[in-house]
Amino acid sequence: MSFSNEQLERYSRHIILKEIGIKGQKKLSAASVLIIGAGGLGAPAALYLAAAGVGRIGIADADRVDLSNLQRQIIHGTNDLGKEKAESAAESMRAVNPETRVETHVCFVSAANIGALIAGYDFVLDGTDNFPAKFLINDACVLAKKPFSHAGIIRFRGQLMTYVPGAGPCYRCAFKEPPPPDAVPTCSQAGVVGAMAGVIGSLQAMEAVKYFTGAGELLTGALLTYDALAQEFRKIRLPRREACGVCGSNPTITAPFDYPGAVCEVAP
């Protein structure tokens, strides 16, 4: 397959880059990404990956667009209030780049459906806002040997890491278990700066682009944290944990499971 003049122009700023070039752009065209959560993190990630010419993007969310979402979920507009978030996101992505195939999954992820959902994609991007969903995505991706980007945001802070099978720790290596319910407030209780979703969601899109093109180093084996008040990034080295319940040498988790009482509210 060779690019048309129109495609060469659309992707010219990628193609000029030595680290991407025509080869890297073709890899992006052949790539597929599943974005779980069409919320704060998913919004910029979905727009940038669609604009980047990722061939196929799945977007999973069961919620509808609410007025309180619009402060940070920039893929939705005021005219989208009440629409299914997955559909609203897909419309924006198709408007940015009609060449990207967008698939909508109007559902919350659970142990029952996550295996089938992630099986259809090369890379998974976690844009959820709660610990049960994050552990579920981690376990399912580790068990299916699926690379994924983890991220979380709250108030003026954000963090992300990337899991690639065989290349470093998983999310459970670092965080073991979800905190007790209500020990950590969700974004709806604690608040979050809208631009924080833009910073961290864009970094997740960057990890996906680098994963597919092979450019540079991924955040495997490291947690990148961002403190907006101090305006500081920190990269914390993370070792793989031999005793990890899912990726360790004697795993106790052999199938994805839902934490009790978990209502997977996606999207911060």
What residues line the site for other proteins (CB under 8 A)? 2-3, 5, 8-9, 12-13, 15-16, 18, 21-23
Q: Which is nearer to other proteins, 23 or 235 (CB)?
A: 23
Element (H, E) at 112: none
Instruction: For residue 175, give the DSSP letter.
Output: H
Least distance (Å) from other proteins to the CB of residue 214? 13
In angstroms, the CA 24 to CA 32 distance is 14
Minimal distance, residue 57 CB to other proteins, in Å:
24
With residues binned 3-state (H G I as helix, E B as strand, rest as coil), the percentages for the chain, rounded to 5, are: 35, 20, 45
**Closer of 9 and 177 to other proteins (Cβ):** 9
CB closer to other proteins out of 12 and 79: 12
Distance in angstroms (rounded) separating the CA atoms of residues 16 and 221: 30
The rounded distance, in Å, linking the Cα atoms of 207 and 54 is 13
**Of 12 and 188, which CB lies nearer to other proteins in the complex structure?**
12
Residue placing its CB nearer to other proteins in the complex, 24 or 198: 24
Q: Report the candidate in 247, 259, 248 with the shortest Cα–Cα distance to residue 135.
A: 259
CB 264 within 8 A of CB 128: yes
Q: Minimum Å distance from CB 21 to other proteins?
A: 7
Give the shortest CB-47-to-other proteins separation in angstroms: 23
Please state the closest distance from residue 27 (CB atom) to other proteins, in A. Answer: 13
